Amino acid sequence: MTELERHVCRAGPHELWGASDEQLAEKGKLRKHIEPWLSSVFQSEHLSVILGSGFTNAVALAVDGKPATMQTQTWGSQYADVIAAYASTSAQKQSRGAANIEDQLRTAIQLKDGLEILGDEGADELKAAIDDQLRSFVTMILETESTIAVAEGDSAEAGRALLLSFLLSFASRTASRERVNLFTTNYDRLIEYGCDLAGLRPLDRFIGALEPAFRASRLDVDMHYNPPGIRGEPRYLEGVVKLCKLHGSLDWRWNQGVLSRCPLPFGADATHPAIPPSPSESVIIYPNPAKDVETLEYPYAELFRDFASCICRPNSALVTYGYGFGDDHVNRTLLDMLTIPSTHLVIIAWDSTNPEDSTDEANASRHRINSFLNKASRPAQISLLLGSHFGDLQTLVSNYLPKPAIDPISIREAHLRQARGEVPPENISQEGADDATN
């Protein structure tokens, strides 16, 4: 961390702009403001989360693993220069800074479609290059998954504990409230992996046992149980979350008009038979729409309808972590959400907001966040936790996220100790207060 590092905190009425490392040394003073505020936000009527690539990279670094990269790649194609130039122009038009592998793939797919319309023989050569890039991209993500899955030692255990605590902080809502909605732009299965470790039950649109298929039905199927001795009063089962992968997933396949989830293990080897030789024809990850025209809108249109309907409603709170605000289609929905006065957005990001940090990536990240804040122009509805201090997963989980459990016994103990003057009132989270009164 450099001497020029700066941090920004705006959580409710508490603001700390341009804070130095020394000002953040006493974490307890910040915690007594931030943790109760986040506890209240997390108990909103509707709670959603957006997790970007920074989340996966944070967990990978915590277990001494290998983070994935979205940097541009070298293309073995006669159209390499054309692809690079247009991808760069496209990224700049969208105010995303330097181009990445997604921009290259999107450009190459559009160019291939144009060559096929013209009947140009170069379409076959370009398709082979796209398949090579997609295979390399899928392999890179699987390597990141593998380093997390097979990690050993104290750092690995601590990293997995961070993953569990992070997810449980959001999932541990009282059962009377709506389930938390987990949205991610990532292609990896880290969230699913964490849910398995934590015993959480993710609900998505896939139905089936042997080969789950994506269903467009919008029925909210949930899980209930009947308490012993009580008839006709089913209660919601705890530990249930709703999961939506906005950009698709490594294990989504398009086959004979059906979108299904294939049995691809977490961190599988690159030679696994579930990885097709021609991923451009079947793997459903953005921006690859596979070969069928219908997938240009399906399933992405369905997923974004779910996203918009979840966050654009009154009394809704949304938390972003590891998301770099580089997707205009996501940002537009966030701006629409903020037009509703009772909504609230919490942005947690590593970005240092340091104007003297001249790296391209830092400048692009800072520009995207500032651009979004300027467009929103609703500071009262946005909480900011920016900088390496707040963006660090260990610091965030240990000091600022709410208690990752619904424990009536400890809640009652805390209130008894408060009544006896042993515990300051601010050390009891809003969730505990809500549970005690219900």
Residue 196 is part of a domain; what is its CATH number? Answer: 3.40.50.1220
pLDDT tens profile 321-347: 999 898 888 999 999 999 999 999 999
| % of residues, the chain, pLDDT over 90 | 49
Residue 138 lies in a domain: yes
Give the residue from 94, 122, 147 where a domain finishes.
147
Specify whether 376 is located in the same domain as 241: yes
Angle, CA 395 vertex, CA 319 and CA 387 arms, to 5°: 65
Most confident option among 39-48, 311-320, 365-374, 395-404: 311-320
- Where residue 216 falls among pLDDT bands split at 50, 70, 90? confident
Whether residues 348 and 428 fall in one domain = no
pLDDT at 39 over 70: yes
- For 17, 32, 49, 296, 391, the CA distances from 6, given in Å and listed in that order, are 8, 21, 25, 42, 12
Handedness of CA 346, 47, 299, 136 (dihedral sign): positive
Hunting for tokens 């990293």 — which residue is that?
A: 159
DSSP state of 288: B
Same domain, 325 and 218: yes
Confidence of residue 438 (pLDDT cuts 50, 70, 90): very low
Query: Token pair for residue 209?
Result: 């046992």
Residue 268 is assigned to a structural domain of this protein = no
Q: Which residue has the tokens 């990885």?
A: 275
Q: What is the pTM of this model?
A: 0.87
Say which residue, 222 or 54, is predicted with more confidence: 54
Range of the domain at 420: 408-437
> pLDDT class for 355, splitting at 50, 70, 90?
very low
Which pLDDT belongs to residue 136? 93
Domain count, the chain: 3
Nearest to 427 by CA among 25, 76, 32: 32
Query: What is the model's pLDDT at position 268?
Result: 94
Does residue 431 surpass a pLDDT of 60?
no
Q: SS3 letters for 93-162? A: HCCCCCCCHHHHHHHHHHHHHHHHHHCCCHHHHHHHHHHHHHHHHHHHHHHHHHHHHCCCCHHHHHHHHH
Q: Quick check: is 363 in a domain?
A: yes
Asked if residue 155 and residue 142 are part of one domain, the reply reads no
Domain boundary among 122, 147, 172: 147
Q: Are 204 and 189 in contact (CB under 8 A)?
A: no
Angle at 40 between CA 179 and CA 60, to 5 degrees: 65
33, 170: one domain: yes
Give the DSSP H/E element, type plus range, for residue 320. strand 316-321
Q: Quickly state the pLDDT bin for 50 (edges 50, 70, 90).
A: very high
Q: Is the pLDDT of residue 60 over 80?
A: yes
Same structural domain for residues 123 and 175?
no
Whether 274 maps to a domain, the answer reads no
Element (H, E) at 358: none
pLDDT at residue 30, rounded to an integer: 82
Q: Are residues 177 and 125 in the same domain?
A: no
Alpha-carbon span 208 to 262, nearest angstrom: 11
Shared domain for 101 and 228, answered yes or no, is no
Query: What is the pLDDT, as a whole number, of residue 119?
Result: 94
Statement to judge: residues 380 and 419 lie in one domain: no
Q: Are 321 and 55 in contact (CB under 8 A)?
A: yes
In a shared domain, residues 233 and 114: no
Q: What is the pLDDT of residues 193-205, one digit of tens each?
A: 999 999 999 999 8
Residue 265 falls inside a structural domain? no
Instruction: Give 233 or 5, the one with higher predicted confidence.
Output: 233
Could you report the per-residue pLDDT of 412-423, keeping only the tens digit for each?
A: 776 787 788 775
Q: Are residues 429 and 344 in the same domain?
A: no
Q: From the centroid of its chain, how far is CA 149?
A: 19
Q: Give the C-alpha distances (Å, rounded to integers) separating 322 from 3, 34, 64, 344, 385.
A: 23, 19, 18, 18, 12
Assess if residue 345 is contained within a domain.
yes
Q: What value does the mean pLDDT of the chain take?
A: 84
What pLDDT band is residue 117 in, cutting at 50, 70 and 90? very high
> Is the confidence at residue 121, as pLDDT, over 80?
yes
The last residue of one of the domains, among 126, 147, 168, is 147
The answer to whether residue 324 is domain-embedded is yes
CA distances from 273 to 211, 262, 268, 285 (A): 15, 11, 10, 18
Residue type, 204: D
Closest CA to 191 of 93, 321, 366: 321
Q: Are residues 301 and 425 in the same domain?
A: no
Is position 395 within any domain? yes
What mean pLDDT is predicted for residues 18-43? 77
